[in-house]
């Protein structure tokens, strides 16, 4: 006699989710050792189901940031979920289950800290974490690397970003960093990178993405942190793909009577964006009284993008 199927039927409501895609994550190690599989979730779906023999647990991410739902970063929660898969072999009566989960999650470079991890009576493991967000992409001669505000190199899932990928990403690009890129999960210690990151953070606090500056941001999203002629140290430049550049100068907050303050420089950028920014000149924002325009010359010109 044919044995009846043991397949479990799904509720009708589950077939009509907002984003009807499904990504199945398989791990040969988990299948061989534990006989389980972890299922991926929709963008920004905060509850995941993990199966283990006759037990069923859920992992619920408490208030994850919206950027984790972007196409580029969906893998972050998916990979964290896969890392939690071995916990399905641990009974709910284990008092260390939540602590083990917090240790696994906090080991990810994408996680700054785990605020809370608790297992409820209904089998839901709730995790609240503070995530590191990609602030910019650091360029070297080979590739582009996501970097967080604290200088941590955020790992990707088995691939590297090319310069073309970086240019199309919409993120700020940072070049001229003297230190070689650390291994994924490691941190840069180069002061020139942190100077550039401070400028990116300054722009993010202002209305850089909308209004008159939106076009300027797309044209000048490349920050050059390298030393160059006419600048002793910590001089930042904004470069365009056409070769024009804006001399920004010292990182925001460090002008201290030496240069125009960052707020004045930003106001000048807004004015220039409205009136039209010349692409055949160097635009120097450092002066106290006015913007200085200098013609591009071979010695002042821009080297090829790294």
The DSSP line for 26-88 is --HHHHHHT---EE---TT--EEEEEETTEEEEEEESS--GGGGSGGGTHHHHHHHHHTGGGG
pLDDT given at position 177: 93
| Rounded-to-5 percentages of helix, strand, coil across the chain | 25, 25, 50
Q: Alpha helix (H) ranges present in 205-293?
A: 213-219, 262-275
pLDDT by 10s per residue, the chain, length 306: 444 444 433 333 333 444 332 332 333 222 222 232 233 334 345 555 443 444 557 889 999 999 998 888 999 999 998 898 888 666 666 778 899 999 999 999 999 999 999 988 777 889 999 999 999 999 999 899 999 999 999 999 888 899 999 988 889 999 999 899 999 999 999 899 999 999 999 988 876 666 666 777 777 789 999 877 666 556 899 887 766 788 999 999 988 888 999 999 988 888 877 777 777 788 899 999 888 888 776 555 544 333
pLDDT given at position 30: 27
Spatial distance between the Cα atoms of 100 and 277, rounded to a whole number of angstroms: 55
Q: Which of 212, 218, 216, 200 is nearest to 262 (CA)?
A: 200
Burial class (CB in 10 A: 0-12, 13-18, 19+), 47: exposed
Sign of CA dihedral 113, 118, 119, 125: negative
Instruction: Check: pTM over 0.85? Answer yes or no.
Output: no
Domain residue limits, the chain: 19-131, 136-295
Going by the DSSP 8-state scheme, the letter that residue 304 receives in this structure is: P
Spatial distance between the Cα atoms of 14 and 202, rounded to a whole number of angstroms: 43
Spatial distance between the Cα atoms of 42 and 22, rounded to a whole number of angstroms: 7
- Judged by DSSP in three states, 114 sits in strand
pLDDT given at position 205: 85
Spatial distance between the Cα atoms of 264 and 259, rounded to a whole number of angstroms: 10
Q: Which of 291, 207, 203 is nearest to 222 (CA)?
A: 203
Q: Which of 289, 191, 203 is nearest to 238 (CA)?
A: 203
pLDDT given at position 117: 94
Sign of CA dihedral 48, 50, 55, 61: negative
pLDDT given at position 185: 95
pLDDT given at position 275: 75
Contact present, 127 and 170 (Cβ < 8 Å)? no
C-beta neighbour count of 85 within 10 angstroms: 22
Q: Alpha helix (H) ranges present in the chain?
A: 28-33, 75-83, 97-106, 163-167, 191-204, 213-219, 262-275
pLDDT given at position 24: 27
Spatial distance between the Cα atoms of 74 and 149, rounded to a whole number of angstroms: 20
**Tokens 């791990």, located at residue:** 27
């Amino acid at each position: 006699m044919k044995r009846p199927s043991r397949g479990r039927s799904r509720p009708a409501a589950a077939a009509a989710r907002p984003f009807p895609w499904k990504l199945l994550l398989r791990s040969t190690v988990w299948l061989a050792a534990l006989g389980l599989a972890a299922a991926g979730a929709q963008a920004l779906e905060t509850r995941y189901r993990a199966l283990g023999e006759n037990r069923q647990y859920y992992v619920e991410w408490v208030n994850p940031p919206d950027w984790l739902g972007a196409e580029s970063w969906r893998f972050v929660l998916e990979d964290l979920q896969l890392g939690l898969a071995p916990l399905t072999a641990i009974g709910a009566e284990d008092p260390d289950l939540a602590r083990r989960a917090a240790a696994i999650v906090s080991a990810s470079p994408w996680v700054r800290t785990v605020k809370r991890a608790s297992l409820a009576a209904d089998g839901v493991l709730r995790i609240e974490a503070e995530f590191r967000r990609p602030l910019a992409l650091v360029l070297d001669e080979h590739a582009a690397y996501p970097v967080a505000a604290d200088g941590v190199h955020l790992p990707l899932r088995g691939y590297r970003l090319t310069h073309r990928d970086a240019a199309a990403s919409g993120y700020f690009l940072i070049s001229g960093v003297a230190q070689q890129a650390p291994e994924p999960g490691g941190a840069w210690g180069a002061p020139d990178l942190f100077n550039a990151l401070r400028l990116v953070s300054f722009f993010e606090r202002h209305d850089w993405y909308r209004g008159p500056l939106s076009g300027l941001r797309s044209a000048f999203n490349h920050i050059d942190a390298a030393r160059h002629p006419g600048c002793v140290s910590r001089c930042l430049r904004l470069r365009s793909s056409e070769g024009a550049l804006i001399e920004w100068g010292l990182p925001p907050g460090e002008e201290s009577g030496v240069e125009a303050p960052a707020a004045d420089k930003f106001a000048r950028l807004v004015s220039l964006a409205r009136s039209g920014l010349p692409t055949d000149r160097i635009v120097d924002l450092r002066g106290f009284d006015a913007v200085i325009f200098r013609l591009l010359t071979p010695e002042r010109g821009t080297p090829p993008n790294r």
